[in-house]
Amino acid sequence: MGKLDGKSAIVTGASRGIGKDIALYLANEGAKVAVNYSGSKERAEAVVEEIKASGGEAFAIQANVDKADDVQNLISSTLEKFGSIDILVNNAGITRDNLLMRMKEQEWDDVLNTNLKGVFLCTKAVTRQMMKQRAGRIINITSIVGVSGNAGQANYVAAKAGVIGLTKSSAKELASRNITVNSVAPGFITTDMTDALPEDIKSQMLSQIPLAKFGNPVDIAKAVAFLASEDANYITGQTIHVNGGMYM
């Protein structure tokens, strides 16, 4: 018996990184999962296969979250396959890091479009169904830097801080229809990207983490599953920080 038996979920950007682990973990808790991807079809299909191999139900679906038509198709295809949408995890995100003074307008636009507008479009599109259901869980992946700031990531930080504001506003608008909206803010999580960092940078990062270790993607997935479950019935508009104490 899983926490999410019989529920159906959409995870955006689920072909790799934290999104992949979220998809796998929700499936492990019994949810049927729509594995959304933008470009990595093979990786998304591998996630679907992994879920099916452990007896779960999933399918891969392409959509760019910053395109309203793609998002509409993502929602209606999922609805067609699963019959309901109980959980939306807005995870898809990109980085285009640069110093403020060197940041190109395109780098700003790309990050804001995917990381913030994408959350808006997916939330808007899923709300119709969730309002009808009189139930729904929306979980947005933000970031520690959305509250702490970070040099070289003005675009990313602005988008992630925006996601926190969007979370609170949608939580207030949708609460009367029994839809909760929360955010999870990861700290330093081990992924392919962070593995590639030089040792001295890594040890410097580690020194700022009271729990003295990097997080795993599954640490984020567990917080998401909690917010998606019955255990979190009375929680809305919140941001849960999962960062080993790196920011308090």
Partner 1 sequence: MSTVLERVTKVIIDRLGVDENEVKLEASFREDLGADSLDVVELVMELEDEFDMEISDEDAEQISTVGSAVKYIESKQG
Choose between 43 and 177: whose C-beta lies nearer to partner 1: 177
Q: Is 203 exposed, middle or buried (0-12, 13-18, 19+ CB in 10 A)?
A: exposed
Q: For residues 28, 4, 186 and 120, what is the CA-based torsion angle, rounded to 10 degrees?
A: 120
28 is in an annotated binding site: no
154 is in an annotated binding site: no
Least distance to partner 1, CB of residue 117, Å: 17
Q: Which two tokens stand for residue 196?
A: 């590639």
Contact between residue 136 and residue 78 where contact means Cβ atoms under 8 Å apart: no
Catalytic residue, chosen from 37, 156, 234, 247, is 156
Least distance to partner 1, CB of residue 173, Å: 7
Choose between 32 and 117: whose C-beta lies nearer to partner 1: 117
15 is in an annotated binding site: yes
The H or E element that residue 199 is part of is helix 199-206
Q: What is the DSSP annotation of 132-186?
A: HHT-EEEEEE--THHHH--TTBHHHHHHHHHHHHHHHHHHHHHGGGTEEEEEEEE
16 is in an annotated binding site: yes
156 is in an annotated binding site: yes
Least distance to partner 1, CB of residue 131, Å: 6
Binding residues vs partner 1 (CB under 8 A) = 128, 131-132, 173, 176-177
Choose between 41 and 128: whose C-beta lies nearer to partner 1: 128
Contact between residue 7 and residue 32 where contact means Cβ atoms under 8 Å apart: yes
> Does 247 qualify as catalytic in the annotation?
no
Least distance to partner 1, CB of residue 61, Å: 23
How far apart CA 246 and CA 233 sit, in angstroms, is 27
Please list the residues that pair with 8 across neighbouring strands: 32
Choose between 44 and 174: whose C-beta lies nearer to partner 1: 174
Choose between 12 and 123: whose C-beta lies nearer to partner 1: 123
User: Left if phi > 0, otherwise alpha if psi is -120 to 50, otherwise beta: which for 8?
Assistant: beta
111 is in an annotated binding site: no
The 8 Å CB, 24+ separation contacts for 193-198 are: 193/17
**CA distances for 174 relative to 63, 124, 125, 185, 218, angstroms:** 25, 11, 13, 21, 28
Least distance to partner 1, CB of residue 176, Å: 7
- Binding positions are 13-16, 64-65, 91, 156-160, 189
- Binding positions for NADP(+) are 13-16, 64-65, 91, 156-160, 189
The residues carrying an active-site annotation are 156
